[in-house]
Structure 1
Amino acid sequence: MNIELGEFVIMPNHIHGIIIIGRNDFNKSIPNAETKNQFSVKSKNLASIIRGFKGAVTSYARKNSIEFEWQSRYYEHIIRSETEYLKIRQYIIDNPFKWNEDSLF
Structure 2
Amino acid sequence: MFVFNEDVQLEDLGNGLSRKILAYNDNMMAVEVHFETGTVAALHSHPHEQLTYVASGVFEFTVGDVVKTVKAGDSIYKEPNIIHGCVCKEKGILIDNFTPMRKDFVAE
Q: Do they superpose with TM above 0.5?
A: no
Choose between structure 1 and 2: higher strand proportion: 2
Q: TM-score when scaled to structure 1? A: 0.32
Q: TM-score when scaled to structure 2? A: 0.31
Choose between structure 1 and 2: higher helix proportion: 1
